[in-house]
Amino acid sequence: MDNKKLVETITARDVDFAQWYTDLCLKAELMDYSDAKGFIIYRPYGYAIWENIQKYLDNRFKETGHENVYMPMVITESLFQKEKDHVDGFAPETAFMTTSSGDEGERLIIRPTSEVLFCQHYAKIVSSYRDLPKKYNQWCSVVRWEKTTRPFLRGKEFLWQEGHTIHQTEAEARTETLDMLSVYNQLGKDLLAIPFVTGRKTEKEKFAGAVETYAIEALMHDGKALQSGTSHYFGSGFAEAFDIKYQDKDNLVKHVFQTSWGVSTRLIGAVIMVHGDDEGLVLPPYVAPTQIVIIPIQSQKPEVMAASNELYNSLKEAGYRVKLDDSNRTPGWKFAEYEMKGVPVRIEVGPRDLANGVVTITTRHNRAKSLVSKDDVIKTMPNILKTMHDDLYEKALKHVTANTFTALTYDAFKTQIEQGGYIKMSISGEEAELIIKADVQATARVILDEPLVTDICPVTGKKATQTILFARAY
């Protein structure tokens, strides 16, 4: 298969973005469909992106005093029903675990999220202020009976982490909620090269049972938004329903204040849709499973293989995720393959370059080629990756800036929403959100901490109360 043919199998983004996305997920071997409808297989190349995200976050969680646990994958129905808003939010999506013998007793719900399991456990193990705070996290998969499947974005099972913490004071819990939002935001800056917009969700969009929900939102290439993570402040609602109490220093018995926060394999989808191009994936260097691929040109020549191996070993030694492809495919095939897979850096090791003591380095995101002295590769690599990461972040940020609009009238809003992007508008409240959703399927992404752009809500004609960032979303 030659270069051209390989690339042609991926639909162009502007022709059909959804098809481009699905093509890429499959062709780049990130995932595959399972024969159980709505369940996907995370293939090595896709799973490795998740592992890099896990490693980053797990370190940050532990540095900030969190501990990992593992709760069962099932919840008894009576436990699940203890917090009413929560049940209402999740009931339509729940799946159950049963056996042929029917000896499972009470109906067992397969976790769609684990708030109630953590609540019950906390109620049991906490009795004194000395036991607080408890800051737990778990890495697991959850099941929600979604009707549609879109790789990494929506399906019946997904991988995620869910943090659940309890605190003595409201202030401490609120700080935790925002601290973890900030960790997620930093993940975008440090690893994913994605400029998230962060903010509080409207009452309508907040999590079932939360007092406040904050989110990180990302803008995809097609102008649609993707909610990429959430952090919730629960107040004492769950604590009261589940009786999580402690004796304080003043000897009074009080309820705890609670948070939860999570990100999922949706983030893989965000990386694909923010950075990818018509040739395939473009993976930011710090999250890429393979950061550098070495391709020997005329690999039958001993000096080419010797130099390739030497380079491979020294890059590996230096801690890079590097691959040497010495298979018997043509260089052209390999170029197209690793472009499609979005490997950040390609190093060609050819006899002509070698004669001059150099190799050719190509960066995936801008296809810039440069000749680098063979002995300088290690020295220049940190800068190559850093520049690439910064370029990608800047490009994504420009995309956000260029596609963020302000609507002073509802007509302008409706016209603009068809073009995609974020639209700021000041609205009266939930009534306006419902009208907008019904009219043009756009939703409030976050409440902006910005002054009103109009005093009157263009949708309802009532007094505007808050400025909202709207978008159509995945």
Residues of this chain that bind a second copy (CB under 8 A): 32, 34-37, 39-44, 47-48, 50-51, 67-76, 79, 94-101, 103-106, 108, 110, 117, 120-121, 124-125, 130, 136, 140-141, 143, 145, 157, 159, 327
For a second copy, the closer CB: 43 or 254: 43
For the bound state, the minimum distance from the C-beta of residue 79 to a second copy, rounded and expressed in Å, comes to: 6
Torsion of CA 47, 53, 57, 58, to 10 degrees: 30
Give the span between the Cα atoms of 254 and 262, in whole angstroms.
Answer: 27
Shortest distance, position 50 Cβ to a second copy, whole Å: 8
H/E segment holding residue 471: strand 466-471
- 36 vs 253 by CB, closer to a second copy: 36
Token pair listed for 9: 């199998």
Q: How far is the CB of 249 from a second copy (least distance, A)?
A: 11
Closest approach of Cβ 446 to a second copy, in Å?
30
Rounded to an integer, what distance in angstroms lies between the CA atom of residue 270 and that of residue 291?
Answer: 19
Question: Looking up tokens 């926060």, which residue turns up?
Answer: 261
Q: CB under 8 Å to 326, separation ≥6 — which residues?
A: 296, 299, 305, 308
Do the beta carbons of residue 199 and residue 185 sit within 8 Å?
no
We find the least distance from the C-beta atom of residue 114 to a second copy, in angstroms, to be 10
Closest listed residue to residue 239, CA positions, set 120, 87, 111: 120
Shortest spacing between CB 320 and a second copy, in angstroms: 15
**What is the Cα–Cα distance from 96 to 455, expressed in whole angstroms?**
49
> CB of residue 309 vs a second copy: minimum separation in angstroms?
17
Q: Is the CB of 69 or the CB of 397 nearer to a second copy?
A: 69
Q: Which amino acid, 21? A: Y
Minimal distance, residue 209 CB to a second copy, in Å? 19
Q: How far is the CB of 36 from a second copy (least distance, A)?
A: 5
The tokens for 298 are 């005329």
Residue closer to a second copy, measured from CB, 30 or 457: 30
Residue that the structure tokens 């780049």 belong to: 28
Please state, in angstroms and rounded to a whole number, the distance separating the CA atoms of residues 468 and 186.
Answer: 23
Q: Which of residues 116 and 436 has its CB atom nearest to a second copy in the complex? A: 116
Task: Return the bridge partners of 265, or none.
Answer: none
Closer residue to a second copy, CB minimum distance, 214 or 242 = 242
Q: 156 is written with which tokens?
A: 């019946």
By beta-carbon proximity to a second copy, the closer residue of 93 and 303 is 93
The DSSP result for 296-324, as a single string, is ESSTTSHHHHHHHHHHHHHHHHTT--EEE
Rounded to the nearest angstrom, the gap between the alpha carbon of residue 473 and the centroid of all alpha carbons in its chain is 14
Give the ranges where 318-466 is alpha helix by DSSP (H). Answer: 331-340, 351-355, 377-402, 410-417, 430-440
CA 208/CA 197 separation, integer angstroms: 22
Is the sign of the CA dihedral 10, 14, 16, 22 positive or negative? positive
Q: Token pair for residue 399?
A: 């995309």
CB of 329 to a second copy, least distance (A): 9
Rg of the Cα atoms in the chain: 25
Q: How far apart are CB 82 and a second copy at their closest, in Å?
A: 11
Nearer to a second copy, 96 or 370 (CB): 96
Check whether the bond before 133 is cis (ω within 30° of 0): yes
Distance CA 261, CA 38 (A): 25
Least CB distance from residue 341 to a second copy, whole Å? 14
**What are the C-alpha distances in Å from 142 to residues 64, 93, 139, 326, 372?**
25, 11, 10, 40, 47
